Structure 1
């Protein structure tokens, strides 16, 4: 009999078996497990987040760059808890709250989620409409194409198919890394501005709250836990699932930092403090430094990839959460005839977002406002996440000890800073 290796689970003091085999076997295992973490992280850098990062670079230069780096471990700590809960409970976040805290609290949590999802969906679709407008496609036509295409994709595909499509689309976001390089930022100026933090500036605090809300979003918690449970991951997959989440955390913040750097090095240098009103204004301000066609193409690819993957994730999350609390089938493993409420909710929410966007919205102002709203909702979302990890997980895998203190302090500091910055910014 082959003896399997064992390794400690952070925050539990318990050991779990590690699958036997060499590096190649573990690498293949990682590729089989990976997906939920990377998809949700690529969706995290959505159209609203990109616009928020661009607005931050335009108005505050490089001052919010350090925050993007600091949010990497915070994002990992939060989303790693969803991995544990998805693996060891086998349930989505909404169902877990309903089962352990009651129907009332489940509806409270899901109501905040739906509020955040609708706001996020509008920003995603507005971003797509803004990019389409660059090539002369009217908003109503771009929305018709997106709503019909994504509805057909989900209704005809499996969980794995949807996950792979979302990953491929989301990889277009990496173009922003090249955009930041081509913008030729002044790194000495960036370092100097990063260390000068204007805490007395209410508008700066508003942007701090927006960036926190742009990185830690309510729908991310719901989506990753449900995706992990639906994929059927087990304790043997925990290590790979954590790496999936860690790599995604670094990637999403690298994209956010790249957008901020690109805009700070262009608009922030030539017209510091300039407000941005539309996607077209962002492109027009950046293209003189990157070239008209190069700048437009790169921004269009990055924004479209970010918005599409986030639209898939946000709409699936809202539909799953609604059906979870109502006790209805909510999995892509079922066909539309077997889960009509799930697929009907998905199509209805997506269509509603398309209609609202086709009517015309101010993307930049809306995006920043939605991210601030996400920051203000963090106490409810992260509070339930911590309580579930602390009380519901099986004893060997429960959140406890030093790691529980670190996770609790991280969540408390993040929600506290988000609330303070958001309220101060709104009152200012």
Structure 2
């Protein structure tokens, strides 16, 4: 039996080698044994290639400003494991993790003896989340982020009141497929009969897949650029300013401190979602709640400035779309800076399409690695790069310390790549 927080976390992480097992049979078994807690969760379900976490964050803040208590389920974590299951932005307590593992662990061991096999780490955490929000701490709303894909994602046992698909890009292609249509098909798996879908998908071929799935299930779709419109977007010193027109209202000159065009689109999804909840589900959400919620939202590890002198920015750009977004944001907000990149990534990512675009905006680019099963080596990354000032540095801590001493006012140090890497760098810099 698990008695301490460390024992609980160790048991969860010990399941990592089981990898990813697409399918919902084990989750359905869990839910049956637990008395179907997922049926007691009022949820917004969010899938997409990028922007899920930020969209969760924006919508949570809007609902909180309106006075609602909001649970969230996100991944991966940046600061501590507990943040994956949070209430109003506060990670659940260590003791609650222990209590949840004490409930889930015996069931996981029983499940392992069946023909369905042992549950994965993500399945265990998802079961913990549903039990927590369905039985232990019921919320006004729970915003649930998928882990991978959608159709066979562990979270897809939930029947939400609203679904959101942020965008579609090339990621996890070994599991989701290597075309936008196949990836969109997997993401569209979260669409439920009669449950409306809000989406930021902009590629016509991907949007068609989602639209056809939604139409077949009589699920109304709200598409960015068609059903709700972004206008008057401009970059500011502290973030972005924009307006959003939904079918129900016009919100002028909203501001966010999250940088980048992609974050404006994520915010627009959250505004549309809040407006839908207000219009059709009688949530009491005023314009000031939307403005204040978007304005207060912060998502750690996403174009986050951790130092002004020198200017150090971290960003978990862990796939091709993420790299394009961080490049666009740097060029928009810091066009006159000399950019020095520190990059680490997982080996199963489309590295060729990530490395060279970064190198193209960099004065110098340094590759490194970190202790993680699928992490690429610095040498593997450097081999993909053509830049006269490229380097390998196994000790990234030393690189950061050196830059904190030797820098010019025109320098911008951009640390980017895997979210797991960014998590380690953030802890180091915070110390």
Q: TM-score, normalised by structure 2?
A: 0.24
Task: Determine which structure has the larger strand proportion and give its number.
Answer: 2
Q: TM-score, normalised by structure 1?
A: 0.24
Q: Which has the higher contact order (CA 8 A, sep 6+)?
A: 1
Task: Determine which structure has the larger helix proportion and give its number.
Answer: 1
